[in-house]
Amino acid sequence: MIKDVPPFAYLTALNQEPLVLDAKSIKRKGLKPTDTRATDQFLWNFITLNQKKFEFLNISATVNGIGRRAQLCLKAGEYVGAIPLQQGASGSRLGDLIVRPREGNTGGMGDFSELIWLIGEDYGADFLEGNPLTSVQGMKPPLYLEALKFVEAFQLLIKNGWNQFRITSSIVDHPSGNIQWNKYAETYHQVENRFRFPQKRSVLSADHSEMRQLKYVFELCKHELRSNNTPIGLRIKMESPLAIIESKLAALKSEEVSLIKMKRNDNQIVRMVKEIANQILRKGAPHSFGWRMDVAELFERYMQRILNETANELGAKFSRNPRITRKKHRSFPWQLNHLEPDGILQVGNNWVPIDAKYKMHLYQKMGTTDYFKETFRRDVHQLLAYMAFSGNTPATGVLCYPSYQAEKHQLSFRNPMNDSVCTVFLVGLVFKPEGYWDSKKMMKQLVEECFMS
């Protein structure tokens, strides 16, 4: 059993201010160099030991300073999740490094679970197999989608029935079937036992080992679907099916298991239930593996959901991730095969490319560092490349960032040599469940005022 270890540190996704740990801080967290004069080399060895894990979660880990004054600097990217860290040549467990979402409840994934449910797509986490987390109390990925799949499949299995032969022992008053004569002979001399025959029978029953193991998985799913990690709308919806399954399996004891064995003679429904159950056992155990979720991809799908509903309401057409292909063959291996904006909005003859970027520009509007300037320049240049294919005059595009409030800003670029104009609408979307309707209302106004008038 893995010993529970407190988390090593918490980071926030997209935070440009790194977490800086000095010599005293790293000692309190369990990193104790044998020679304090070579603290910098010790920290570099620590980074090298955990390099693959840092890369998995896109953590920038560096060392500032030399000798005793060396500091460990950690900065998170666009992923949220958790990874287990190790130290020393022995690889002893140090604790989990947890990256929390910038938006919503910093204590967990509640708001993100609501967003995934709102988007209505099967969006899950990536796992770092073979690297179990060391903190039971650490941040867990939302597993309600897998739990929902299991409950639906388990309902079908219970409806169709799944019986197996099991051996039962009983006492009968006359010889029939498989009598255990050796046991009978041991008690035959007692008059009261002369007509008590120990019998073994094979009977078909739903109370067998594999069904008990599936009930254990059901209990894990029940806990997940009733927790705050599950959107409240889904919690209410699933309460009745969970109660029905509980009543049907009330007499069945659960059997704890780490993995359910697949068998060749399993029918299609049983195999499907077992496969989903094993996914949950790997991901939803008290000590699950290191994991990550790409918040940038989730924000892109959030934007696409808003645009798709807006287009349907206004009689427009929205295309997700269309490809602008290259005509001729590649002359060089580094040439692009295609361009792919996050979406294209077609309103009449207007062809408007839309790109979503999960960056912090509208969270920190007064940011003056080179990071803000250069990343925004690259984003605008990318959008301008898509706008070159629109055929509109003037060319128009939309660039979406997460923001504290729904907002829009118009940026116009003019070429004084030929008076050509390109217009970029910088749109802030509230990346929270409660901000969805405000973001959609603002996007609808933008489409009506700027692209339909």
* Structure confidence by residue, pLDDT tens digits, 6-30: 888 899 888 878 899 888 888 888 8
C-alpha–C-alpha distance, residues 34 and 213, integer Å: 47
CA 111 remoteness from chain centre? 12
Work out how many domains the chain is built from and give that number.
Answer: 4
| Environment class of 274 (CB within 10 Å of its CB; exposed 0-12, middle 13-18, buried 19+) | buried
Beta bridge partners of 92: 87
Residues 254 and 155 in one domain: yes
| pLDDT at residue 107 in the model | 47
Residues 393 and 326 in one domain: yes
Q: Is 91 left (phi over 0), alpha (psi -120 to 50) or beta?
A: left
Residues 411 and 431 in one domain: yes
Please give the DSSP secondary-structure letter assigned to residue 407.
Answer: E
Residues 184 and 172 in one domain: yes
Residues 279 and 151 in one domain: yes
Residues 269 and 159 in one domain: yes
Q: Is residue 307 part of a domain?
A: no
Please give the DSSP secondary-structure letter assigned to residue 206.
Answer: S
C-alpha–C-alpha distance, residues 290 and 99, integer Å: 11
Q: Is residue 300 part of a domain?
A: no
Residues 252 and 319 in one domain: no
C-alpha–C-alpha distance, residues 194 and 192, integer Å: 6
pLDDT in tens, 319-343: 998 988 877 776 777 777 888 899 9
| pLDDT at residue 301 in the model | 93
Give me the residues of the chain with pLDDT under 50, please.
Answer: 1, 105-107
Residues 429 and 349 in one domain: yes
Range of the domain at 408: 315-451
Contacts of 345 (CB under 8 A, 6+ apart): 307, 311, 316, 317, 318, 351, 352, 354, 398, 447, 451
C-alpha–C-alpha distance, residues 225 and 230, integer Å: 6
Residues 151 and 253 in one domain: yes
On whether the pTM is more than 0.85, the answer is no
